[in-house]
Structure formats: structure tokens, C-alpha cells
Amino acid sequence: MMMKRIFELDYMRGIAMLFVVVGHILEFGLNADRYPHAFMGIVQMPLFFIVSGYLAYRNKEQGGMDTLHRFLIRSRILLVPLVVWSVILNVCKGEITCSQAMICRGGYWFFLALWWCDLFNTCINYFSKRYRLHLFMDVVLYMILYVVILLLRIKGVNLGGLLPIQNVQYYFLIYALGILMHKYTMIHKWVLNKYTYAIGLITILVAWYLLRMQSFPIYFLGGVGGVIVFWMICKEIPFEKKWAKALSIVGKNTLPIYAIHYLFITTLPQCLHDAVNVPMGFFLQFVIAFTYAVVVVILCLIIDRIISVNPITRMVFFGESKKREW
């Protein structure tokens, strides 16, 4: 049974994707000061992970084989672009080596971290359904697993780079929150209401102000606050607006945009660096970065449409058997 499309989730992913592209252009292309645009960095990945967690839960799964089948498909969709686009990026940069970095390029850590979150959730989901666990025990299972993740982080276990444990440590709780919000209406109401909206606004501003402390609790609370604020905002977006439909298209196609955009972010903006390198020039840098980000997103969508026309190339580059909807 197909889950009814929730447009606010598309808007959230679309905003997160724009934040990622703009942030990467500012950081890698324009060499802008990281602190002014750190606001985007606080919320962009938490938005991705909570939406991914929310969509990972299915009400109508019958048993372990269904769960395993979904996980294998999900693994293909995440790991194929991880490998293929890592190789393409390295070839474009002329950095061809036989090391593991050729496959697990730092820029594509998101695919691998999300795959580990899916793997952990598949295991928990199996036990939860088998033993018919409810809210309290589900929370206990997720917390036990998170303790294991923290222990792996303390021990520095990363399986030779195949387990981006630091990133999993940051985002697994937010991913799990998305699952629990979908599974339990009570959690959804606790997280999204007018009171948490106000608290979220304060939290994200405080976290942004204190970001130079580089504290994980501050970063985590800021991310949760950002998720609440942007989710509440996206719930009010009218779908009939043309700009909302465009944002929805971006949200539905975050996978190819994330994979392809690295090929564009270190070329043209770098040529403009001297022109915008002026005192207090962040606003000018941001305008240029946002304008170029829109161009990059459009180019990524065009390339994706060309690749996705043929089912073979669609499978080779993105591991997808079905064509994504616009």
C-alpha cells in the first residue's frame, strides 16, 4: 500500500538541499567565513535525517522478509550512487587512486551514514514487530543502540572508513525521532506544536550564537530546534503556488542533486572570489551563492532527466529501477 504523499516533507528536503548547495558554494567556491552561514549547516542535515526516518517507517509491513526486501532496495539506492559518483568526482579531479577514499569520498558521507541508520533501524524494526513492542520499549531499544554507537565512537571504531561513526553519532537520534513521530501520533503531537515552535526558534538562535564552542549537545539541540521550526513552516506552504511546486520538485530529487552538485561547486564561484572578497561582504557572497545554487540545481535536474530516461543508466548511476516523479 502506497503511503499518501506528504508535501511538507518534500518542502523540507528541498530547503535542506538548497542549504547544502549554497553552503558548499560559500565554503568551497567563495572561501566565505563559515560562521555567518553556519545557520544553514545546523539545520540542513537534521532535516534530511528526520525526513528519512519518518519515511522509513511503514504501517503495513507484514513480516521480516518485507523489511529485508525494503532494506536491500534501499541499500542499492544509497550505495550505488555512493560508489559511482565518488569515482566520477575523483576522475574529474584527476585523483585516481586504488585507496578506499576513491570509493568513500568525504563529500558523499551522507549516503553511507544514512545506510547505517537504515541498517540499525531494520534490526530494531524486526525485533519491535516480532515481539509487538510499544512506545516505551521502542525508545529503550533505540537508546541502547545509541549507547553502542557512542561506545564505538569513543573506541574510534569506523571499520576502515566504512562506518562514518562520527556522523552517525550526530544524526541517528534525529533519524530515530522521525521514525517514532510517524509510528506514534502522540510523539508527533509532542514534537510539533506552538510551544515547541517557540522553543525551537530560541534554541536554534542560541545554538547559532554558541556554535564556536563546537559542542555536540549545542549542535544537536540546535538541529532539533531547526527541524521543528522548518517543519512547522513547511506545513503552512500552499502547494498551489508555483514556487512551492518548484521546491517540491527539488525535494523529490535530492538524491541526484546531492550526487551531481559536487561537479559544479568548485569552478565558476572560485573565479568570482576576488570580486566578492570585500569587508562585510557576506551578503553579496550569499546572493551570488544562492543565484549560482539555483543554476546548479537546474543543471543537476537536467542531467538526472537525461540519465533517467534509460532504465539501464538509471540503475547504473542511481541504483533505481523506477523513474522518480516530478
190-201 confidence digits (pLDDT tens): 999 999 999 999
Cβ atoms within 10 Å, residue 145: 16
Residue 44 lies in a domain: no
> Same domain, yes or no, for 155 and 96?
yes
Claim to verify: residue 84 and residue 153 sit in the same structural domain: yes
Q: Is 41 inside any structural domain?
A: no
φ, ψ of residue 214 in degrees (nearest 5): 55, 50
Q: What pLDDT does 66 receive?
A: 78
Of the chain, the end-to-end C-alpha distance in Å amounts to 20
- Cβ partners under 8 Å of residue 143, min gap 6: none
Looking at 235, 261, 293, which one is the last position of a domain?
Answer: 235
Do 303 and 186 share a structural domain?
no
Return mean pLDDT, the chain.
Answer: 86
Q: Note the pLDDT tens digit of each residue in 64-120.
A: 677 788 899 999 999 999 989 988 888 877 766 555 555 555 678 899 999 999 999
Q: What is the pLDDT of residue 59?
A: 73
Q: Which domain holds residue 275?
A: 1-34+241-320
DSSP string, 298-310: HHHHHHHHHHHTS
What per-residue confidence (pLDDT) applies to 3? 60
Q: Is residue 124 part of a domain?
A: yes
pLDDT band at 285 (very low <50, low <70, confident <90, very high): confident
Does residue 39 lie within any of the structural domains?
no
Does 42 map to a domain? no
Residues 127, 212 within the same domain: yes
Instruction: Determine, yes or no, domain membership for 46.
Output: no
What is the CB neighbour count within 10 angstroms for residue 226? 28
Domain end position, chosen among 195, 217, 235: 235
CA atoms within 13 A on the CB side of 90: 19
Which of these three, 235, 250, 265, is where a domain ends?
235
d(CA 28, CA 47): 22
Per-residue pLDDT reduced to its tens digit, 161-186: 778 888 899 999 999 999 999 999 99
Are residues 297 and 210 located together in one domain of the fold? no
Residue at 65 is within a domain = yes
pLDDT band, residue 281 (cuts 50/70/90): low
Residues 20 and 71 in one domain: no
Q: H helices within 131-260, ranges in order? A: 135-155, 165-183, 185-191, 194-209, 216-235, 242-252, 254-260
Tally of domains in the chain: 2
| In a shared domain, residues 2 and 101 | no
pLDDT in tens, 240-278: 899 999 999 999 999 999 999 988 886 655 556 555 555
Inform me whether the pLDDT recorded for 47 exceeds 60.
Answer: yes
Amino acid at 286: F
Using 50, 70 and 90 to split pLDDT, how confident is the model at 1? very low
The pTM of the full predicted model, rounded to 2 decimals, is 0.91
The reply to whether 100 and 62 lie within a common domain is yes
The pLDDT value recorded for residue 163 is: 84
Averaged pLDDT for residues 287-295: 88
Choose from 117-126, 127-136, 176-185, 314-323 the range with maximum mean pLDDT. 176-185
User: Are the C-beta atoms of 261 and 24 separated by less than 8 Å?
Assistant: yes
Alpha helices in 33-63 (DSSP H): 38-56
Q: Is 209 helix (H, G, I), strand (E, B) or coil?
A: helix
